[in-house]
Structure 1
Amino acid sequence: MILLTGSDLTLKEMKKIIYGDEDVSIHPSSMEKVKKSRKAVEKIVATGKTVYGINTGFGKFSDVLIPDKNVDELQLHLIRSHACGVGEHFPVDVSKAMVVLRLNALIKGFSGVRPCVVERLRDLANEGMIPVIPSQGSLGASGDLAPLSHLALVLVGEGEVHYKGDIRPTSEVYDELGYKPLTLKAKEGLALINGTQAMTAMGVINYIEAERLFDQSDWIASMTLEALEGIIDAFYPAIHEARGYREQIAVAKRIRTITSDSKLITHQGEKRVQDAYSLRCIPQVHGASRQSLSYVKEKLEIEMNAATDNPLIFDDGETIVSGGNFHGQPIALAMDFLKIAVAEMANISERRIERLVNPQLNDLPGFLSPNPGLQSGAMIMQYAAASLVSENKTLAHPASVDSIPSSANQEDHVSMGTIGARHAYQIVINAQKVVAIELICAMQALEYRELKHASTSVQKLHEEGRDVVPTIKEDRVFSKDIEALWKWLKSDQFNWSVQEETTTV
């Protein structure tokens, strides 16, 4: 059980909630804050004081005063009118993360919702009743209005949910589980949708996937290094310490450790003086991409625990202020950074694939074919990898440099952070498939050497990889191999951790 307070949720805990099916609960002190902020809203409604989002219209309609008798109706109209997302649905994991993050934001006690609202969000996460949310339609300010409106629809018994592997009408699942739709009260609709939880939820998934991908890339690059009889001297500790980047130093150490007992690894001057950059510069390139993870993690964990709706309630209701915490610029920039970092990991992986399959660059059979000429072997797998990295280059264009005015120019600068997060997700998937292709080629290349001469760690990876994709004895539909190995990498079944280094150059 993960206890939510609104202030200390971590990516590690989110991973347990999303992938480990850990339930969530609300800290009693946080629930007290929720109750206090709700009393402030009820006081405003009772006194007739004009406050944005409570008894006014929204956006350009902020100057339109709403009569007391229509305040509750206003919230439902808001949710329905703003639920205009389009495109494919967010993955279920992303939508679940969205529910948890919106819950965590509301229990900070700055939003003025009733306890029943946060309790319903908790129940959605714990019951596995996850809103169906279209992935397109958000500008990233004022928050993720369209996606979060589809989330909010579920609270009022409308829309659809993922439940036990199916997509079903919310009302049907509510009846089955004995839940009653909520009637949203003053400010609650706005509090539910005015935030950055779509881009942040997508960012959480991106981070988790990218972190694993980077570990896998080090392992697979090590296998390629052995298959090409690469020069280990380039990973000598002093080289990397002389530059000083801790991530670069760590990657070099991982490669040395993984290949520590290899008889295929060579030294400078034995077969060649230097390797190509895609081998020699693995620590520099992988390490630089890893630097992005620290930045992205910091921004995500701040945003995961942020109050991002508007207005916010302070001083037990004495101070209510309209601001702009819904603006997604911090996450937009972080996602754009992650896009570039992941795209580069795929770029260098594709170059290693080329070195594995090109007979002009190695002493292996052309395209690793079992019968070169009659059979094409891995020739077109490199084409597929090249296509994916080329697509990544267009997706990596920063979304955050774009803006377009909305709501009659009231909202005249937006972040496009959700677009950046969505594109980052696609880049991660593409990169995973490129790395899967590298692993297929590296396993095949290694078999043309004497496998028994490979390091113990690389032999283990080869053994488990071969349980998923068999050796290439003749041409077959390699698309199936790529898909199978991609799914295996995503399943995280292999232990990608590295034991302490036992030998050095």
Structure 2
Amino acid sequence: MFTVDGRTLRCEDVRLVARERIAVTVDEAAVRRAEDAWRLVTELSARREIYGRTTGVGANRDLTIDEDSGPEHGRRLLRSHAGGAGDLLPADHVRAMMLIRLNQLAAGGSGVHPRVLTALAEALTSGAIPRVHSTGAIGTGDLTVLAETGLTLAGERPWADGHLPPVPLDTADALAFMSSNAATLAEATLACLELERLLRASHVVAALSYVVLGGSPEAYATAVHAARPHPGQVRCAGEMRRLLGMTGAPPPGRRIQDPYGLRAFPQVQGPALDSIAYLRNVLTIDINASAENPMVSLAAGDVFHNAHFHTAYLATALDQTRATVHHVAELSAARLGDLVEPSFTDLPAFLADGPPGSSGVMILEYVTHDALAMLRQAALPVTLGTAVVSRGVEDHASFSTQAARQARAAADAYQQVLACELVAAVRALRMRPADLMDLPVRDAFDLADATLDANTADRPFSDDLTKAAALLGQLSEI
């Protein structure tokens, strides 16, 4: 049983509920908070104009809704905004979206009827998934996805999987339910956790390459990073010292200075670690926020029109994260280039093991740079553009939706880059065994050695890359 309280949802909780069939319930205090907010906004709507409840939306904000057509106005809002296009969102993305929206509603700022919270919890528990489309948001509210979800809850759209009895959604619920970036936050959260996992694994993969290449420990010395103590850089250097057993005065490396793939790893990995930590902080705030417009404040006993729908924090954090991950991936590609170079390894070119002219792992460089090119495209900033919509009333957009979409693409590409380096590093350690007996990174080698094909003849690497990519999750925990 997972309990939603509107205040303490973690990114890991989102992934857990998104990918596992778990019973979900709403904390009783959160239900009371939602009901109090619903009663308050209902009372205020009878005395004053409230956007989307007594008025139209967007450029129609100045049009007052006829009292007799109130309930139908809400249904029209949902129907008119349920215009998503493109592919259907995958099930894990939709479940993550529903959980985040439920948690936001439990925070008590929307004013929706408590029955909406109960319905979302029942859908998550039963495995019912609405049929929603991917295209239709620009970082100022996931209107199409949430409208499609709302109509599904109301019984006007078919469920993609499972079923739930229809839930009445009136005017008070329509805009209040749609006023969120829950789908964007869901995709960003899943991408953030995946990138975190890959960045943790990259320490292990880089450490294996370090052993093959006979790296110099000076680049990771405590004194070096104490002189320039960026948090991520210090953390990366510490991880490399731990994995490589660098205690006391470690033996010198093979070169006075290593290539950048080893020597500059903390300085390049550090910004990525710091960026992903900042992104996680932004997500943690937003998935627990009362971010509706208008927002009901029980403390103030009032309703406030605001711009919480704008997700500049999320968009810029995602842009920065993708850019820093691209730099880290470039270093992985550089280390792969070093691994196939005899002058760095004292092994045959391309780690070949066969008759003259054997290609060894030559193809891995091509695969790496294909994936790196895809990552480069995914890393391009999306926040440099904007949009003016709704007859000029809504004149700025963050495009956080596209930034989140690109983050998942970046994670897929980066996984391929790391898989290529891992396959090459393990092959090289097999060809020239190193003394890993007392090093924590030995566990990583043993795991990969038991999983990857030991055949060093020229052969296809597709299966190896698939297995290596799957291993990264385990390597991230070493």
TM-score w.r.t. length of structure 2: 0.93
Please report how far the alpha carbon of residue 21 of structure 1 lies from its aligned counterpart in structure 2 after TM superposition: 4.9
Closer, same or farther: CA 231–191 of 1 in aligned 2, 3 Å = same
Instruction: Measure, in 1, the Cα distance between the counterparts of 2:220 and 2:203.
Output: 13
Size of the alignment, in residue pairs?
A: 476
- Confirm whether residue 17 of structure 1 aligns to residue 2 of structure 2: no
The answer to whether the 8 Å contact 2:211/2:434 transfers is no
Range with greater deviation from structure 2 (80-89 or 91-100): 80-89
2:6 match: 6
- Confirm whether residue 442 of structure 1 aligns to residue 425 of structure 2: yes
- Confirm whether residue 496 of structure 1 aligns to residue 466 of structure 2: no
Range with greater deviation from structure 2 (124-133 or 278-287): 124-133
Please report how far the alpha carbon of residue 455 of structure 1 lies from its aligned counterpart in structure 2 after TM superposition: 5.2
Please report how far the alpha carbon of residue 481 of structure 1 lies from its aligned counterpart in structure 2 after TM superposition: 2.3
Range with greater deviation from structure 2 (244-253 or 102-111): 244-253
Output aligned runs, 1:68-467, within 5 Å.
Answer: 68-141=67-140, 143-159=141-157, 161=159, 167-168=160-161, 173-174=162-163, 179-260=164-245, 267-268=252-253, 271-315=254-298, 318-359=301-342, 361-371=344-354, 374-451=357-434, 453=436, 456-467=439-450
The answer to whether the 8 Å contact 2:30/2:106 transfers is yes
1:122-141 alpha-carbon deviations (Å, 9 max, x no partner): 11222222334322221111
Give 3-state SS (helix, strand or coil) of 1:135's partner.
strand
Give 3-state SS (helix, strand or coil) of 1:326's partner.
coil
Please report how far the alpha carbon of residue 27 of structure 1 lies from its aligned counterpart in structure 2 after TM superposition: 1.8
Instruction: Measure, in 2, the Cα distance between the counterparts of 1:362 and 1:37.
Output: 67
Aligned sequence identity (%): 29
1:470 match: 453
Give 3-state SS (helix, strand or coil) of 1:401's partner.
coil
The answer to whether the 8 Å contact 2:212/2:345 transfers is no
Instruction: Measure, in 2, the Cα distance between the counterparts of 1:454 and 1:223.
Output: 13
The answer to whether the 8 Å contact 1:258/1:455 transfers is no
Give 3-state SS (helix, strand or coil) of 1:470's partner.
coil
Please report how far the alpha carbon of residue 468 of structure 1 lies from its aligned counterpart in structure 2 after TM superposition: 3.2
Q: Which residue identity lines up with residue 397 of structure 2 in the other structure?
A: V
The answer to whether the 8 Å contact 2:217/2:246 transfers is no
Closer, same or farther: CA 219–329 of 1 in aligned 2, 3 Å = same
Q: Which residue identity lines up with residue 307 of structure 2 in the other structure?
A: G
1:501 match: none
The answer to whether the 8 Å contact 1:365/1:372 transfers is no
Instruction: Measure, in 2, the Cα distance between the counterparts of 1:451 and 1:113.
Output: 63
Please report how far the alpha carbon of residue 463 of structure 1 lies from its aligned counterpart in structure 2 after TM superposition: 2.5
Residue ranges of structure 1 left out of the alignment (5+ in a row) = 162-166, 498-505
Closer, same or farther: CA 373–61 of 1 in aligned 2, 3 Å = farther
Instruction: Measure, in 2, the Cα distance between the counterparts of 1:266 and 1:40.
Output: 70
The answer to whether the 8 Å contact 1:40/1:317 transfers is no
- Confirm whether residue 42 of structure 1 aligns to residue 42 of structure 2: yes
Please report how far the alpha carbon of residue 41 of structure 1 lies from its aligned counterpart in structure 2 after TM superposition: 3.7
Please report how far the alpha carbon of residue 186 of structure 1 lies from its aligned counterpart in structure 2 after TM superposition: 1.7
2:50 match: 51
Instruction: Measure, in 1, the Cα distance between the counterparts of 2:176 and 2:369.
Output: 45
The answer to whether the 8 Å contact 1:41/1:112 transfers is yes
Q: Which residue identity lines up with residue 218 of structure 1 in the other structure?
A: H
Please report how far the alpha carbon of residue 70 of structure 1 lies from its aligned counterpart in structure 2 after TM superposition: 2.3
Closer, same or farther: CA 205–77 of 1 in aligned 2, 3 Å = same
Please report how far the alpha carbon of residue 439 of structure 1 lies from its aligned counterpart in structure 2 after TM superposition: 0.5
Q: Which residue identity lines up with residue 151 of structure 2 in the other structure?
A: L
Give 3-state SS (helix, strand or coil) of 2:440's partner.
helix
Closer, same or farther: CA 314–247 of 1 in aligned 2, 3 Å = closer
Q: Which residue identity lines up with residue 25 of structure 1 in the other structure?
A: T
Please report how far the alpha carbon of residue 223 of structure 1 lies from its aligned counterpart in structure 2 after TM superposition: 0.3
TM-score w.r.t. length of structure 1: 0.88
Instruction: Measure, in 2, the Cα distance between the counterparts of 1:493 and 1:128.
Output: 28
Q: Which residue identity lines up with residue 231 of structure 1 in the other structure?
A: S
The answer to whether the 8 Å contact 2:42/2:172 transfers is no
Q: Which residue identity lines up with residue 57 of structure 1 in the other structure?
A: G
The answer to whether the 8 Å contact 1:191/1:309 transfers is yes
Q: Which residue identity lines up with residue 368 of structure 2 in the other structure?
A: A
Instruction: Measure, in 1, the Cα distance between the counterparts of 2:358 and 2:123.
Output: 53
Instruction: Measure, in 2, the Cα distance between the counterparts of 1:124 and 1:343.
Output: 38
Give 3-state SS (helix, strand or coil) of 1:302's partner.
helix
Q: Which residue identity lines up with residue 93 of structure 1 in the other structure?
A: D
Range with greater deviation from structure 2 (394-403 or 422-431): 394-403
Instruction: Measure, in 1, the Cα distance between the counterparts of 2:205 and 2:180.
Output: 39
Instruction: Measure, in 1, the Cα distance between the counterparts of 2:135 and 2:455.
Output: 41
The answer to whether the 8 Å contact 1:140/1:416 transfers is yes
Name the Cα RMSD after superposition.
Answer: 2.4
Range with greater deviation from structure 2 (71-80 or 406-415): 71-80
Closer, same or farther: CA 384–454 of 1 in aligned 2, 3 Å = farther
Please report how far the alpha carbon of residue 373 of structure 1 lies from its aligned counterpart in structure 2 after TM superposition: 5.1
Please report how far the alpha carbon of residue 279 of structure 1 lies from its aligned counterpart in structure 2 after TM superposition: 0.7
1:261-297 alpha-carbon deviations (Å, 9 max, x no partner): 89xx9514xx321110111122222122111122112
Q: Which residue identity lines up with residue 235 of structure 2 in the other structure?
A: A
Residue ranges of structure 2 left out of the alignment (5+ in a row) = none
The answer to whether the 8 Å contact 1:107/1:118 transfers is yes
The answer to whether the 8 Å contact 1:295/1:334 transfers is yes
Give 3-state SS (helix, strand or coil) of 2:65's partner.
coil
Closer, same or farther: CA 144–273 of 1 in aligned 2, 3 Å = same
The answer to whether the 8 Å contact 1:86/1:136 transfers is yes
The answer to whether the 8 Å contact 1:219/1:496 transfers is no
Range with greater deviation from structure 2 (393-402 or 307-316): 307-316
Please report how far the alpha carbon of residue 309 of structure 1 lies from its aligned counterpart in structure 2 after TM superposition: 1.7
The answer to whether the 8 Å contact 1:366/1:372 transfers is no
Range with greater deviation from structure 2 (210-219 or 93-102): 93-102
Instruction: Measure, in 2, the Cα distance between the counterparts of 1:464 and 1:78.
Output: 55
The answer to whether the 8 Å contact 2:213/2:345 transfers is yes
The answer to whether the 8 Å contact 2:104/2:290 transfers is yes
